[in-house]
Amino acid sequence: MVGAQLNEPLLSWESAIAETAAQFGTVLYGVEASAVIVAAFSGMLAARQRQLDFVGTYVLAFVTAFGGGTLRDLLLNRRPLFWVSHPEYPVIIFGLAVLFVYCPWRWVPERPRARYLSDWVDAVGLALFSLSGTSFAIAQGLPNFAATIIGVITGVFGGVLRDVLLADIPRIFRTASSLYATCAFVGAWVYILALRLGGLNATASVLGFVTAAGLRIVSLHYDITLPQPRYNLERPLPPWGLRRSSRRRSHRRSRRRGKR
């Protein structure tokens, strides 16, 4: 009886969040559509830096825009996939890719500026996608931590696929890279806490977006990283074969010194 009374506020709070998320379906759609467009533009910028053709540009834009959301829908068992239920998304990205590749650019950014623009666009896409994933997870009644993980996966997986296709180590796996998945994680928790304190979905979305995108931009500007793993601070060990050969050499030298 006491356990039921303790669980009742938690269940009512989660149901209230689900009802609030369902009432603001338009907000969720707007966040998702904005995330798709921004992520697609991030993939196009990456394709331009590698001098890819139209097919490569569209593939990178498609994978970056739909990779995280597709994995989110698979984990939440949502059918059809979000870009299938909204067929305008692939068409819009196709049109944007045509304009991006074949229309003349009046302003061609230099390489440092292009990199700076790409980082800003990627930060905005990361924040939007992480919030959309967290919103859909909460609407389906997932626990807070699980909803946060779904949000992080939604935000970062498209960029992971983009980097893999470009034969790069994904930036979320690089020890020396600035904060990336951490920004999505913190932004998702700010969004959940704002809802728990009674804020509207739109207000919570703005707070979570500002937190995730702002933290990402600040980490890029000041080169903020997570603490380095212990094994990165230690002296790297040579391969096993080299270790055995070095031991043999040292043993021979010690025997020669003993004979002398």
Span 139-163, average pLDDT: 92
- Residue whose C-alpha is closest to residue 43's, from 11, 67, 71: 67
State the average pLDDT for the chain. Answer: 79
Average of pLDDT values for 57-70?
94
168-199 pLDDT, tens per residue?
Answer: 888 788 777 788 899 999 999 999 999 888 87
Q: Which residue has the higher pLDDT, 248 or 74?
A: 74
12-30 pLDDT, tens per residue? Answer: 545 545 554 455 456 667 7
**Looking at per-residue confidence, does 243 or 191 come out higher?**
191
Q: Would you state the torsion angle of the CA atoms of residues 191, 85, 155, 199, taken in this order, to the nearest 10 degrees?
A: -10
Higher-confidence residue: 74 or 109? 74
User: Which residues does 153 contact at the CB level (< 8 Å), separation at least 6?
Assistant: 68, 71, 72, 75, 133
Domain boundaries, position 140? 2-259
AA letter at 136:
F
Among 163, 150, 173, 157, residue whose Cα is nearest residue 225: 173
Q: Say yes or no to pLDDT of 202 above 60.
A: yes
pTM comes to: 0.73
Q: What is the gyration radius of the CA atoms in the chain, in angstroms?
A: 24
Distance separating alpha carbons of residues 234 and 227, to the nearest angstrom: 14
Residue 89 has pLDDT above 90, yes or no: yes
Query: What pLDDT does residue 123 have?
Result: 85
Cα atoms found within 13 Å of the Cα of residue 182, Cβ hemisphere only? 17
Enter the tokens of residue 251.
């043993």
Instruction: Identify residue 1 by its one-letter amino acid code.
Output: M
The stretch 161-174 carries a mean pLDDT of 88
* High-pLDDT (> 90) share of the chain, %: 36
At residue 66, the pLDDT reads 94
Confidence of residue 109 (pLDDT cuts 50, 70, 90): low
18 and 135 in contact (C-beta within 8 Å)?
Answer: no
Choice between 12 and 76, residue whose per-residue pLDDT is larger:
76
Structure confidence at residue 235 as a pLDDT band (50, 70, 90): low
The H-assigned helical ranges of the chain are 2-23, 25-49, 54-76, 82-85, 88-102, 111-139, 144-165, 181-196, 201-222, 230-233, 240-259
* Amino acid code (one letter) for 135: S
* H or E stretch covering 109: none
- Report the number of distinct structural domains present in the chain: 1
Beta-carbon contacts of 94 under 8 Å, excluding residues fewer than 6 positions away, are 58
Model pLDDT, residue 11: 45
DSSP secondary structure letter of residue 80:
S
